Structure formats: C-alpha cells, structure tokens
Structure 1
C-alpha cells in the first residue's frame, strides 16, 4: 500500500488541533501526525496538499437503520453495501446497522446478512456488526416500532442471540420488561453493549439494569421516560437516571429535528463531553428526496428534513448523515469543531469498544480519515488508507 502524507491541513485528532498539520499514512495505519516542522515525511511517501482543509478521524455511527433506499431489515448484501456507501459520503468510516422490532426469523435473517457483509467486505463504511433495537421494548415508548412484534425475550430467543454474539455487538432493550435484566446479564458477559432504550423505566429499574450489565442509553429524550407521576408520587425516569448514574453513557440524534439545541446542551452539561456520542439513527431515505418510505414494516413520510409517522405524531428516524450533524453541533449547539468531532469519533469508539484501533488520528491506529472543507462538506473519506468516497471537488 502506498505511503501518503496529507500536508497543509487543519488536523483535528481530536485530542488536539494542529494547524499547518501533516498526517502520514503507511500500510493502512497512521504513521505520524503533527505540525509541518515537527514531522519527518519519509522520502517514499506521496505528498497530497490538502489546501488548508480539515483532516479528522472518520466518523463512527453506532446506530443507523439505512440510507440510499436500503434498510438493514432488507437483509441482503446489496442493501448493506448501499447503506455503507451512502454513509461514507457523509464521512462515516465505521457503522453499526440496526434492526427494528420484527419476528425472530426476520431478525435472524438480518443478523446473517450482516455477518455475510462483514466477511465479504463492503464498498463504503466498515460494518462493525449489528445492533438489535427491539423487540424487547416498552409499548408505551415504542416510537416508530411496530407493536405487533414487541414482546418479552424468551429463553429460546436469548439462546439464539447468544449464538450470534460474533456479530451482535449491541442490543437496545427496556429493562422494566420481564426477562430483559436476564438478557442484559447474559449478553453483557459476552461483550455485547447493552443499551436502555424505548423504555418507560423509573430510577430503581434503571439501577437494576446497570447492575445487570446495561451501560448506555439509546437516543436520550427520544422514546425514553422522563419524570413519571405514579399514584401522586414522582419518580425519576430514564433521562434523569442517565444524568445521575456515572456508569451510563448516552447518545443523541443531533439532526436538529429530534432535539433542539438547548436539550443537546443540557445533555452535555449533565453528562460531560466524554460520555456522549452522536448517532444518525438514519432510515432508508437518508441521501434521498422527500417522499414515502418504509422503516421495517412501518410507513414513514420524509418531509422537512426528517422522517415522520404518517399521522405526524412522532418521528420515524432521521435522514441525516454524520457531517450534517457535526454542522448542527457547531452552528446551533455552539460546540467547538474539536469537541463536535470528539462526539462523532473517539467517544463512539470507546462506547462500542474499538478505540484501541479506531476513533482518533494516533500513530498505530487505522488510517480512517475524513477530509472536509470549512463548511464541513466531505471531500474525501478514507478507510485504512484507501479512499472509499471522493467528492467532485476533490482534485486528487
């Protein structure tokens, strides 16, 4: 593999910002990073002048359903490849395709398709495995899930998921649903990230979940309980519990639709920058024009830059890519670009357990890199030193 040196760049590692920066990539890994006067570029490296544009780690999206007209539940290689390519154009270099509540047979088909895609390889963002979102969730907090399939996890289904932990990397469940604490103990002991989501739990139930291996909260404020009044008494919900429990990390759909800037600021103020990541939760219409689409078995209408249920009582996922969410964080929430990049790179890498080799521009890590202009439009997406997306504006 050719050695390249990205020169004349604004590098966000994201632990530091390097002006007039250089990133040296060799054999798919980051060889060196620093300022132009501090990095010795090997003579055999090809120099690429980035023309002052931004060089950052590739984005890691640990919760998305689709894009480019394809959905994880299509359960085909072609669909997963389309999702991968679509989100690479938004700067994603690693993704975790997600299911929706469905029959066991349909969930297993999706798992098998992801396993096949991981083995075969895809043309865009690297597929890390699969995220099982539902069907073990609260009917009261179902969001855009089809309640015909919402159920308790049976011992049979737990055993089947256990057999697929090579590819099942994350499960979202509602801990108050019978069987979900057992599910958490079983799967977390095999390295699966257990996440509280689509849940109507109160504080005590969240504490039990943490004791049972749950470590993350799925799209906080979206289908997660807040302070509940039960027989005159008030109880903290999932949102308040997430703020109070240090062992829980959280994710935010930062598309500017699901949450206003003030709520994103509140999440960051309460949890701290290091325990928050952004996710697209994108459905199949990401990258496509407005219209009618499907999310699993549910009809959705894409309008005003977001997916809606047909009656417009709730959203049905986003249609965003990661770079547009980065722009929202900087322009509307008020984060520095460095902090916004952190929420899209090293933080999700740590949450999903891949930060040893992905998530930052650090010598020895995979050369998963995005180059953006000052408007945060993606010019180039690179995975392990190989370009998987080039915009029309990228001249090399």
Structure 2
C-alpha cells in the first residue's frame, strides 16, 4: 500500500488540536507532526486547513440510504453501511430490532457474508442485537408482539451460530432470567447493555455485577425516578449516573433529548463514559418524508419531519435519521469542546466494544481510519485502513 502524507490540516488528538498532519504506511498511522515538514511520500494529500479527525464509530444503527440492516439481503446491509461511511462512520455496528429467532439468525448470516466480502466500506467489528428481551412497559418503537423474556435455548443458539460476531446485546435486566443471560454473554465476550427497561436501582446494581456495563439510548425507552406507595425509587436513568463507570449511549440528534439534557449527561458522565449513537433508521442520509421502521415487509410506517422519524400518530419517535456528523455537530452546539465531542463519537465507542487499541483516535500504531471535515462538521473525505474511500 502506498505511503501517504496528509498535511495542512488541524489534527484532532484526544486532548488538543494541532496544526500539522499525519503520515500513513501500510494502513497504519506512522507519524503525527506539527507544521509543514518536507516529507517524501507516494501520495500527498493537502487538507486545505480542514480538521483531520479519527473516523466516527457508530455502535447503534439500524439503517441508512433507504435500507435497513434487517431487510433480509446482503445488498441492503451494504447500502446502509456505505451511506454511513459517506458521513464519516469508518466503523459501523449494524443493529437488529427485536425479531423471531429466525429473523435474528438471518440478520447475523447476512452480516457474516457482507463482512467477508465488503470492499471499500467501513470496518464492521460485529453486530448489536437490540432485543428481543425487553420490558413491555418500555417497548417504545419495538414491536410489542416480539418482545419476551430471555430463553436460554434461544440465546445460546444465536450466540453459537454468530461465531463471535455479536459485540453488543441490549436487554432489560429486570426480566426473569436476565442475570443468567448477562453472565452467559459475558462468558462469550458479549457486552450487555440495559435497554428498553423499566428497572429500578436494585435491578441495575445487580445487573452491573452480572455483565451489564452500558445503557442503550439513555432517556429513551427507560425508566426514571418514580413513586411507589409514597416512596421514591431510582430508575435506569438515575442508576446510570450513580454507577460511575457505566457507559451510556445518547442519541445526539438534538431531538431525542434536548441540548440541555445532553449537556447535563456530559457534565455528569464525561466524554470517557458517553457514546454518541445515531440509532438511525433507513431514512438516514436521504431526503425521504415517509419511511418504514424495520424490515420493508414487516416494519412499521413512519413519517419524517423536524429532523426526526416519528410514529404515524406522532406520539413517539421511531428512531433517528441522524448520521454521525450530525451527532458531533449537535454536541458542539451544546457547548461541548470539539476534542470531547469527537471522542464521544470515536474513541469512547471504540473502547466500549474493545477495539480502542487499534482504532478510535489519531495515534501512532493505530489504523489509519481518518476523515476530514470543515468547521460545521461536514465530512469531505474518508480513509479506512490507509485507503481513501471518499474524495
């Protein structure tokens, strides 16, 4: 692979921005420099003063470009992944909604085929199963007829046939059998995330000790403090704050939770414990006004307005239409420093799924998964593993 130098850029490091550039050899970042030294390289890219950033990593996304990861075809998966890459996601973790065992296994099989054959696309470190082990009281846009308690014979079969491709599995820890599920996932190197849950503090504390280390889209489809018999009980939200090391996802599209709440989560958890996610559905990256949540054949009709997907009755959101660049743009509008906003979309997601030693920041020895964007966080160029994918 040709040696490449990217110069005349503002390099976003973990804790500061420098004026300079980076050198890439054999798909790996080999040098980071300040100023404009004279390098000899086969390819020289002049960034024209743009920001050089680590590529974004989306660990919770259902689709984009008019396709959903559960449409049932490899081509649909590929279209969604390539659309996300165009907006800066150099690593993507396709996410499944609740489904039957057969639907989930088909989703995983299609992913395995795509991962083996993908060329000039984003990295695909694994999949995220969002469901089906959820609370009926917090089903949100998930199909209530498909949610259920964990079944050992089911999840063991899914894990066995996934052959290590499951990164994340979201579930409600208050369900019967959830702790056994969490421990089994941990033994199989799968990170459990509290999602679509009506849990109280007692459930959350126990879950933390049984493999649940994360919260799926904080504030969306999860419990908050409530009164029972006059007494107040903590919900998922307050428990996530109290469990200091628990990582939380937030859908930073500016719609699912308001800017003030994004800022509050940031002030309490910090950039090292927040993962920005799109939770994108198929309309992300398109100009569609109507769409379908989930598979085309069995999904739910939704409308797109005000920059978000809504259920047909407009009483609830139905996933976002955000791309990763929008997440960082929103975080900046909330007053979060650029390095911290980028970290929440790159290094922290990488850390949360165990790949931060290889990607997620601009550092010597890491993959050259890089993007260039302007002051408004509009992505102009992408590189994955040292190969320019988008000019």
Quick check: TM above 0.5?
A: yes
CA distance in 2, matches of 1:239, 1:389: 39
| Contact 1:69-1:286 within 8 A present in 2 as well | yes
What pairs up with 1:103-252 in 2 under 5 angstroms? 103-163=100-160, 164-252=162-250
Q: Partner of 1:127: helix, strand, or coil?
A: coil
Match of 2:77 in 1: 80
Cα offset for 1:84?
1.1
Asked whether the 8 Å contact 1:135–1:151 carries over to 2, the reply is yes
Structure 2 residue matching 1:47: 3-state secondary structure: strand
What is the Cα deviation at residue 36 of structure 1? 2.3
The equivalent of 2:91 in structure 1 is 94
Using the alignment, how far apart are the partners of 1:62 and 1:309 within structure 2?
A: 23
Question: What does residue 394 of structure 1 align with?
Answer: none
Any stretches of 5+ residues in structure 1 without a counterpart? Answer: 391-396
> Aligned-pair distance for 1:45?
3.9
User: Contact conserved, 1:84 with 1:125, CA < 8 A, in 2?
Assistant: yes
User: Within 5 A, what are the aligned runs for 1:334-373?
Assistant: 334-373=335-374
TM-score by length of 1: 0.95
Q: Give the match for residue 63 of structure 2.
A: 66
CA RMSD of aligned residues (A): 1.3
Residue 386 of structure 2 is matched in structure 1 by 385
1:119-164 residue CA offsets vs partner (Å, 9 max, x unmatched): 1124422222110001100111111000010111212112113202
Deviations 1:44-94 (A, max 9, x none): 343221111110000000000000011111132101110111011110000
Cα distance between partner residues in 1 of 2:328 and 2:270: 17
Per the alignment, in what secondary structure is the counterpart of residue 140 of structure 1? helix
Q: Work out whether residues 138 and 199 of structure 1, in 8 Å CA contact, stay in contact via their aligned partners in 2.
A: yes
Change beyond 3 A, Cα 1:122–1:174: farther
**How far, CA to CA, are the matches of 2:119 and 2:249 in structure 1?**
26
CA distance in 2, matches of 1:17, 1:276: 21
Normalised by the size of structure 2, how large is the TM-score? Answer: 0.96
Deviation at 1:339, TM superposition (A): 1.2
Q: Distance in 1 between matches of 2:58 and 2:163?
A: 19
**Contact persistence 2:30–2:364 (CA under 8 A):** yes
2:278 touches 2:323 (CA, 8 Å); kept in 1?
Answer: yes
Q: Is the 8 A contact 1:75 1:114 kept in 2?
A: no
What's 1:393 paired with?
Answer: none
Contact persistence 1:165–1:190 (CA under 8 A):
no
Structure 2: stretches of 5+ with no match in the other structure = none
Indicate how the Cα distance of structure 1 residues 155 and 233 shifts in structure 2: closer, same or farther if over 3 A, else same.
same
